[in-house]
Amino acid sequence: MKTSKAGLDLIKRWEGCRLTAYQDSVGVWTIGYGLTSAAGLITVGKGLTITQKQADDYLVAALAKYEAAVSKAISRTMTQAQFDAFVSLCYNIGPGAFAGSTVVKRFNAGDIAGAADAILMWNKAGGKVLKGLENRRADERALFLTPAKEAMPIPFPQSEATPSPMPKPGGLIAKWVLGIVAALLALAAAFIAKG
C-alpha cells in the first residue's frame, strides 16, 4: 500500500516544514517534514538547509521506509485510513517502536477499537506528555477510525426521453424455462388423464 493524500496531508500538518535544521523537543537534529538522519536519506545537523522541493522529495522518499515497516508489522488487512494513520504514527515514533507497540499487537489480534485507543498512548517525548503529541495522536486515531469507502456504481442519468432498460437476459430465460416446464406438466397431466 501507499500513503494516500489524506495521510500525507496529516503528516505534513503535524510535522510542519522547516528548511533549516533544528533540534526537536528531545534534541534530535531535524529538517523538512520532521526528517532526521534515522530516515537514512541525509545526515541532518546544525547549519543544514534545503529547498521546499527537497523537503517534499525527502518526505516522499522517507515514507517508503515507513510504509514498508507498517506493511511488515501488520498481519491483517487494513483499510486505507488505517494504513495512513499507522504510517503517520510510525513516521513519528520509528519503525522499531511501532512494530513492538500495543497498537500493532491489538490490531493484529483483531481488536480494532483497542488499537485505536492504543494510538493515544504515544503522547510523550523525553518522558513528558506533550499537548502537540496528544493532538496528533487524536488526529491519527480519528483517521484510523474513518470508515472505508465502498465503490458505488455510477448511475446512468435518466430522462423522460430515455427508454426503460431492457430486461435482464437471465429473467427472460427463466420465464422461457418456466413456460416450457408448465407446458410439459400440462401434457403429462393430459396423457395421464387419457390413460
* Average pLDDT for 111-139: 92
Question: Domains in the chain: how many in total?
Answer: 1
Residue 39 lies in a domain: yes
Residue 15 lies in a domain: yes
* Average pLDDT for 89-94: 91
**150 included as an active-site residue:** no
Residue 184 lies in a domain: no
Band of residue 155 on the pLDDT scale cut at 50, 70, 90: very low
**Residue range 159-182, pLDDT digits in tens:** 444 444 444 445 555 555 556 666
Residue 194 lies in a domain: no
**Whole-number average pLDDT of the chain:** 83
Look at residue 126 in the predicted model and tell me its pLDDT: 80
Residue 86 CA to residue 82 CA, distance in Å, equals: 6
**Residue range 3-59, pLDDT digits in tens:** 999 999 999 999 899 999 999 878 999 999 989 998 888 999 999 999 999 999 999
Residue 141 CA to residue 58 CA, distance in Å, equals: 25
Q: At what angle do helices 5-15 and 80-93 cross, to 10 degrees?
A: 30
Look at residue 192 in the predicted model and tell me its pLDDT: 61
Angle at 55 between CA 41 and CA 22, to 5 degrees: 80
CA distances from 8 to 12, 23, 144, 153 (A): 6, 23, 14, 28
Backbone angles phi, psi at 3, to 5 degrees: -65, 135
> Of 78 and 161, which is predicted with more confidence?
78
**Given a cut of 90, is residue 125 above it in pLDDT?**
no
Question: What domain range includes position 34?
Answer: 5-144
Look at residue 163 in the predicted model and tell me its pLDDT: 41
**Given a cut of 60, is residue 112 above it in pLDDT?**
yes
Band of residue 78 on the pLDDT scale cut at 50, 70, 90: very high
Look at residue 195 in the predicted model and tell me its pLDDT: 58
- Grid coordinates standing for 130? 506533550
Most confidently modeled of 123-132, 146-155, 174-183? 123-132
Residue 88 lies in a domain: yes
Residue 154 lies in a domain: no
Residue 159 lies in a domain: no
> Of 62 and 161, which is predicted with more confidence?
62
Which CATH number fits the domain that encloses residue 103?
Answer: 1.10.530.40
Catalytic residue among 15, 67, 134, 140: 15
Residue 165 lies in a domain: no
